[in-house]
């Protein structure tokens, strides 16, 4: 994807932090390049800030994935109050908010048909992790078929979730296990979707409940032996 900034590689120790904000290494490097070593509001050089480190600021209305930029601790605190409704006469904040990073990402993605996040960085790969996740493994064992893996981004009220979907196709049955990725590499089952020929699609909160439903209906090969 083309972008108006050039990336410089960040330290590996920063991966855990930027992944909490749903950014992979490529996107975080581009964000750092845009900031150019300065707070994006007051333009104070990073090494002259109180903490000597710029903080990742995000829009709390939309959740951690809505990163706005890199700011110093003072401006970060001011932004918290602005988010809570306090007005400010400082035009630098208005300019910064109008140029939020996640808005740029959305614009670039729409223009190019791509997204920055690869869901893989810092030795962690969402597809690989989801493939080994218990809910996916249990369905694979029950159906005796390997899944086709895919990824997507789920946007809901106040949150952006990266998801990996394991699709199991077995004769007239399709089972989709959607695994969501939270912070600190936590995975969770978002939903399990069962589509059986001639029947309405059914959604379940876990693979166990989905398999129990199929067994109760006598569907082979997951019917009780």
Closest CA to 206 of 179, 173, 172: 179
| C-beta neighbour count of 223 within 10 angstroms | 11
Say what the pTM is: 0.49
**Domain range annotation of the chain:** 12-120, 123-216
Rounded to 5°, angle at Cα 96 from 90 and 99:
145
Tokens standing for residue 118: 């690869």
Mean pLDDT score, 119-124: 56
Question: Rounded to whole angstroms, how far apart are CA atoms 136 and 211?
Answer: 12
- pLDDT tens for each residue of 7-34: 455 666 678 788 888 888 888 888 899 9
Q: Which residues contact 138 (CB under 8 A, 6 or more apart)?
A: 207, 208, 211
CA–CA distance from 172 to each of 38, 194, 197 (Å)?
Answer: 57, 11, 5
Confidence class for position 157, pLDDT limits 50, 70, 90: very low
Question: Rounded to whole angstroms, how far apart are CA atoms 206 and 135?
Answer: 7
pLDDT for the residue numbered 200: 87
- pLDDT tens for each residue of 50-81: 999 899 999 988 888 889 999 999 999 999 99
């Amino acid at each position: 994807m083309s972008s108006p900034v050039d990336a410089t590689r960040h330290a590996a120790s920063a991966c855990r932090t930027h992944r909490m904000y749903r950014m992979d290494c490529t996107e975080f490097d581009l964000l750092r390049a845009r900031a150019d070593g300065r707070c994006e509001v007051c333009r104070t050089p990073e090494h002259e800030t109180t903490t000597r480190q710029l903080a990742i600021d995000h829009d709390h209305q939309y959740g951690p994935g809505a990163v706005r930029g890199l700011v110093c601790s003072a401006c970060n605190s001011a932004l918290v109050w602005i988010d809570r409704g306090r007005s400010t006469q400082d035009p630098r904040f208005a300019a910064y908010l109008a140029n939020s990073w996640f808005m740029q990402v959305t614009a670039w993605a729409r223009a190019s048909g791509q997204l920055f996040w690869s869901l893989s960085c810092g030795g962690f790969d969402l597809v690989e992790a989801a493939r080994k996740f218990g809910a996916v493994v249990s369905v694979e064992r029950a159906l005796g078929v390997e899944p086709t893996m895919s990824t997507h981004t789920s946007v809901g009220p106040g949150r952006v979730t990266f998801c990996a979907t394991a699709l199991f196709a077995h004769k007239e049955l399709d089972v989709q296990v959607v695994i969501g990725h939270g912070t600190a590499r936590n995975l969770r089952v978002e939903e399990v979707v069962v589509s059986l020929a001639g029947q309405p699609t059914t959604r379940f909160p876990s693979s166990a409940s989905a398999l129990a439903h199929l067994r109760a209906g006598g569907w082979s090969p997951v019917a009780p032996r």
